[in-house]
């Protein structure tokens, strides 16, 4: 049974934890509760009993992980346990490293109840002074991403009622201003030139690039494709998994971002490329025999096992350099696909569904590129019209000079 003590305007609720192996009494679970202003004594008693019962149940169910007033370092372990199956594998790895290398060394010794926005603000300032591997200072976006990890940890502590408020709440902090990066895309001319250069490339690489442009899929989703994901008659492909790689672990698979399994229509020409690649894989499997480790993967290593998710990106950079094409990241093919669709008049919600965006707001970032393209087109047209308008005048002036 939880014990309750009145402390001024607040109440302290304690739940016994029992004894350790040596017979020493463990420090109890503790939480504080302050009744809202205007609450009658009878309502205070009723609400206090409800909160105490709920707190005791959470303690017994293991939802409250640390006794008394845990330090941030101790709670970080609990946070990682809770989030292991909720965060994406790469985000979990990033957070795990960040907690070990930065958050715990700087803030881990502070008790959660004593952690204040001032501590977090110093943390923000400290991050800004840590140079990257190339010697440059971190961008505002990098700082924001690292602080987001601490904010997530403390939100979890609030959910478990270990603390009342989040001292890392954005409203309490002064953060560096994040400058929204311009979306990198290939122009229509650049995309057309790229397609021309693809003809001389291996079928596998052609497939990867053509699928990226025609479907707008993410790199991990493309690498994780199987031949069974294609409807050859209807020219459709279904994206239901994404490949990822975490350091020191084998290549893994997860659902697409936002768990958005989707089917999109692609060009018949891309379907023909996929068929050719399938025939190539069958020949390779026959030649390797028992050494072939593949199954249905489109993009593979030499033995048929799934390709490393970053391999197409590296191949793409070399391809652009080899053909003297404008350098953009592989992900720019996704941006280009979206922009070309919008520029062709496709409804923005259709583009959202095709790309698998969880929010329409994400898709709207491409509208700026459309506006820029429209302004450039207007400018080009204006220049043409002005040139054409001045030309007759110039011709007339020339004829006048000849007559004189």
pLDDT at position 72 is 93
Instruction: Specify if 381 maps to a domain.
Output: no
Instruction: Specify if 147 maps to a domain.
Output: yes
Tell me how many domains the chain contains.
3
% of the chain at pLDDT higher than 70: 86
Q: Which two three-digit tokens encode residue 85? A: 């199956």
| DSSP conformation class of 166 | -
90: domain CATH number?
A: 1.10.150.130
pLDDT at position 85 is 84
| DSSP conformation class of 114 | G
Whether 204 and 262 map to the same domain: the answer is yes
pLDDT at position 370 is 57
Q: How far is CA 250 from the centre of its chain?
A: 21
188-239 pLDDT, tens digit each: 889 899 999 999 999 999 999 999 999 989 999 999 999 999 999 999 999 9
pLDDT at position 367 is 65
DSSP β-bridge partners for residue 6: 11
Instruction: Specify if 404 maps to a domain.
Output: no
CB 326 within 8 A of CB 197: no
**Residues composing the chain:** 404
Per DSSP, the chain holds a count of helices (H) and strands (E) of: 15, 8
311-334 pLDDT, tens digit each: 999 999 999 999 999 999 999 998
Expressed as residue numbers, the domain containing 150 is 72-172
**Average pLDDT in the chain:** 85
Helix (H, G, I), strand (E, B), or coil: what is residue 243?
strand
Beta strands in 240-383 (DSSP E): 242-244, 252-254, 262-265
- Kind and range of the H or E run holding 5: strand 3-7
C-alpha to C-alpha distance for 157 and 72, rounded to whole angstroms: 10
Average pLDDT of the residues in 46-74: 77
Kindly report whether the global pTM for this prediction surpasses the value 0.85: no
154-198 pLDDT, tens digit each: 999 998 888 889 999 999 999 998 777 777 888 888 989 999 999
Whether 165 and 200 map to the same domain: the answer is no
Residue 105's nearest CA partner among 137, 72, 75 is 72
| DSSP conformation class of 236 | E
C-alpha to C-alpha distance for 104 and 115, rounded to whole angstroms: 13
Residue 396 confidence (pLDDT) above 70? no
Task: Name the least confident of 47-51, 64-68, 243-247.
Answer: 64-68
Residue 375 confidence (pLDDT) above 70? no
Average pLDDT of the residues in 131-138: 88
Whether 103 and 123 map to the same domain: the answer is yes
Instruction: Specify if 49 maps to a domain.
Output: yes
Q: Which of 121, 142, 172 is the last residue of a domain?
A: 172
Average pLDDT of the residues in 48-68: 74
CB 4 within 8 A of CB 12: yes
Whether 131 and 244 map to the same domain: the answer is no
330-373 pLDDT, tens digit each: 999 988 888 888 777 777 777 777 887 766 666 666 666 655 55
C-alpha to C-alpha distance for 1 and 32, rounded to whole angstroms: 16
- What secondary structure does DSSP assign to 115-153, as a single string? --HHHHHHHHHHHTT---TTSPPPPHHHHHHHHHHHHHH
CB within 8 Å of 324: residues ≥ 6 apart: none
Whether 47 and 151 map to the same domain: the answer is no
Instruction: Specify if 324 maps to a domain.
Output: yes
Residue 66 confidence (pLDDT) above 60? no
pLDDT at position 67 is 46
Q: How far is CA 354 from the centre of its chain?
A: 17
pLDDT at position 310 is 95
Residue 382 confidence (pLDDT) above 60? no
Name the phi and psi angles at 288, rounded to 5. Answer: -80, -25
Whether 157 and 230 map to the same domain: the answer is no
Whether 216 and 143 map to the same domain: the answer is no
């Amino acid at each position: 049974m939880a014990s309750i003590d009145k402390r001024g305007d607040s109440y302290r609720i304690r739940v016994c934890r029992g004894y350790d192996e040596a017979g020493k009494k463990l420090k109890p679970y503790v939480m504080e509760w302050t009744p809202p202003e205007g609450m009658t004594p009878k309502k205070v008693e009723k609400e206090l009993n409800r909160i105490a019962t709920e707190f005791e149940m959470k303690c017994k169910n293991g939802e409250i992980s640390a006794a008394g007033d845990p330090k941030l370092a101790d709670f970080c372990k609990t946070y990682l346990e809770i989030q292991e199956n909720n965060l994406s594998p790469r985000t979990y790895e990033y957070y795990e490293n960040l907690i070990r290398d930065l958050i715990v060394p700087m803030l881990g010794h502070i008790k959660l109840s004593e952690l204040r926005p001032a501590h977090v603000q110093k943390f923000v300032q400290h991050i800004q002074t840590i140079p990257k591997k190339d010697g440059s200072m971190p961008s505002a976006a990098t700082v924001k991403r690292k602080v987001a990890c601490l904010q997530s940890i403390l939100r979890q502590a609030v959910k478990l009622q270990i603390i009342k408020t989040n001292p890392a709440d954005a409203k309490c902090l002064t953060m560096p201003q994040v400058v929204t990066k311009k979306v990198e895309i290939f122009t229509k001319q650049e995309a057309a030139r790229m397609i021309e250069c693809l003809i001389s490339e291996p079928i596998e690489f052609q497939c990867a690039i053509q699928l990226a442009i025609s479907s707008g899929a993410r790199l991990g989703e493309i690498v994780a494709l199987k031949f069974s994901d294609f409807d050859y008659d209807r020219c459709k492909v279904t994206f239901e998994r994404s490949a990822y790689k975490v350091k020191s672990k084998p290549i893994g698979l997860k659902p697409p971002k936002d768990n958005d399994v989707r089917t999109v229509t692609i060009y018949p020409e891309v379907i023909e490329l996929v068929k050719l690649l399938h025939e190539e894989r069958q020949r390779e499997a026959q030649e390797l025999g028992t050494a072939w480790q593949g199954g249905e993967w489109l993009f593979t290593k030499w033995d048929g096992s799934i390709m490393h998710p970053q391999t197409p990106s590296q191949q793409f950079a070399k391809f652009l350099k080899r053909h003297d094409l404008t350098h953009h990241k592989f992900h720019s093919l996704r941006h280009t696909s979206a922009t070309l669709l919008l520029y062709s008049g496709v409804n923005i919600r259709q583009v959202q569904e095709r790309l698998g965006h969880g929010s329409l707001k994400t898709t709207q970032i491409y509208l700026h590129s459309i506006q820029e393209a429209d302004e450039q087109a207007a400018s080009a047209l204006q220049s043409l019209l002005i040139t054409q308008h001045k030309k007759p005048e110039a011709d007339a002036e020339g004829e006048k000079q000849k007559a004189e």
